[in-house]
Amino acid sequence: MARVAIVSGGTRGIGRAICEALKADGMTVVANYAGNAEKARAFTEETGIPAYQWDVGDHEATLAGCARVAEEVGPVDVLVNNAGITRDGTLLKMSYDDWADVLKINLGGCFNMAKACFPHMRDQKWGRIINIGSINGQAGQYGQVNYAAAKSGIHGFTKALAQEGARFGVTVNAIAPGYIDTDMVAAVPENVLEKIVARIPVGRLGHADEIARGVSFLASEEAGFITGSTLSINGGQHMY
Ligand code: NDP
């Protein structure tokens, strides 16, 4: 039987590339999205992958959404926590809501999705959880105390859950992308983006499918000895 994979925020950008890569690997893939129904419809038409709407920052909605997926498609074997938002601003200008929303969706979403999916993985003694962190969670970024804190939290969450999952055959890893050419980066002002690209040793933005290849590897049978790890895919922008 094909493994069932779910990708939060799977209908656009990096998430979409991950969905397509896991489908090409032979998995049965489901995407989740927040509310852009037009993009989700186009995604399903073009890829044949079903898309389910709920806010991963909402605990109850996430439990209900994952239960629906389990019933209609099958229980989740591979969870990719990819959904994320930005609400940038310096601390002095950032509202409490901008802080709380980013924490709730980017980090709380990982907890909510894992709560829903982990029990089945534990019971069957096999599972893969891959969390999409960020270079800005590793290195920090001006104007992103909310996003950097949430993404840094994802790296801690990954290492803690990896310790809990290990004896059940559940691996938990993170990928820390650098700057990738998606809608999220398109929102960065051009002059700022030029300065960012100048700091990337390979001299260009990354492509969504370059992140997806990493996810595909970490989700594979062969990656069973890799857990609690962070794979940086950033064109050499941040090395350690
Ligand atoms: P996009 O903004 O292009 O796409 C975001 C996706 O997440 C959409 O499918 C969106 O759904 C979904 N989403 C947003 N909020 C929620 C929510 N509350 N519940 C469920 N789904 C939600 O993002 P990217 O592809 O650029 O980024 C994907 C991940 O990679 C994010 O976690 C991001 O932080 C991370 N990342 C991105 C980098 C980049 O350079 N692009 C660099 C480093 C990390 P909808 O379409 O309905 O809005």
- Ligand 1 centre to CA of 132 (Å) is 10
**Residue 232 banded pLDDT, cuts 50, 70, 90:** very high
Tell me the backbone φ, ψ of residue 26, rounded to 5 degrees. 100, 10
- Write down the pLDDT at residue 127: 98
Residue 113 falls inside a structural domain: yes
Q: Is 54 helix (H, G, I), strand (E, B) or coil?
A: coil
- Ligand 1 centre to CA of 82 (Å) is 6
| pTM, full prediction | 0.98
Non-local CB neighbours of 185 within 8 Å, separated by 6+ positions: 179, 193, 205
10 Å Cβ neighbour count for 182?
Answer: 20
- Write down the pLDDT at residue 240: 76
pLDDT tens for 147-185 read 999 999 999 999 999 999 999 999 999 999 999 999 888
Residue 214 falls inside a structural domain: yes
User: Nearest Cα to 131, choosing from 177, 64, 67?
Assistant: 177
- Write down the pLDDT at residue 28: 98
Q: How many CA atoms lie within 13 A of 81 on its CB side?
A: 35
- Closest residue to atom 39 of ligand 1, CA basis: 180
Q: Which two tokens stand for residue 143?
A: 């104007």
Q: How many CA atoms lie within 13 A of 70 on its CB side?
A: 17
Cα torsion through 19, 24, 27, 30, rounded to 10: 20
- Ligand 1 centre to CA of 240 (Å) is 25
- Write down the pLDDT at residue 74: 98
Mean residue pLDDT of the chain comes to 97
Read off the pLDDT of each residue in 57-68 and give the average, rounded to a whole number: 98
* Ligand 1: lining residues by beta carbon, under 6 Å: 8-9, 11-15, 32-36, 39, 55-57, 82-85, 105, 132, 134, 177, 179-180, 182-185
Ligand 1 pocket test target in 19, 111, 184, 205 with most atoms within 8 Å of CB: 184
Residue 67 falls inside a structural domain: yes
pLDDT tens for 64-103 read 999 999 999 999 999 999 999 999 999 999 999 999 999 9
d(CA 166, CA 126): 10
- Report whether 147 contacts 88 (CB < 8 A): yes
Residue 240 falls inside a structural domain: no
- Report whether 227 contacts 193 (CB < 8 A): no
Residues known to be catalytic: 147
pLDDT tens for 32-42 read 999 999 999 99
Which helix (H) or strand (E) segment is 78 a member of? strand 78-81
Percent pLDDT > 70 in the chain is: 100
Read off the pLDDT of each residue in 207-234 and give the average, rounded to a whole number: 98
Residue 24 falls inside a structural domain: yes
Ligand 1 pocket test target in 14, 53, 98, 141 with most atoms within 8 Å of CB: 14
User: Nearest Cα to 65, choosing from 19, 134, 1, 10?
Assistant: 10
| CATH number of the domain within which 54 lies | 3.40.50.720
Tell me the backbone φ, ψ of residue 225, rounded to 5 degrees. -95, 0
- Write down the pLDDT at residue 224: 98
Model ipTM? Answer: 0.99
Residue 239 falls inside a structural domain: no
Residue 23 falls inside a structural domain: yes
Q: In which domain, by residue range, is 200 found? A: 4-233
**Residue 188 banded pLDDT, cuts 50, 70, 90:** confident
Split into its structural domains, the chain has a count of 1
- Report whether 182 contacts 208 (CB < 8 A): yes
Non-local CB neighbours of 191 within 8 Å, separated by 6+ positions: none
d(CA 31, CA 42): 13
pLDDT tens for 114-143 read 999 999 999 999 999 999 999 999 999 999
Q: Residues in the chain, how many?
A: 240
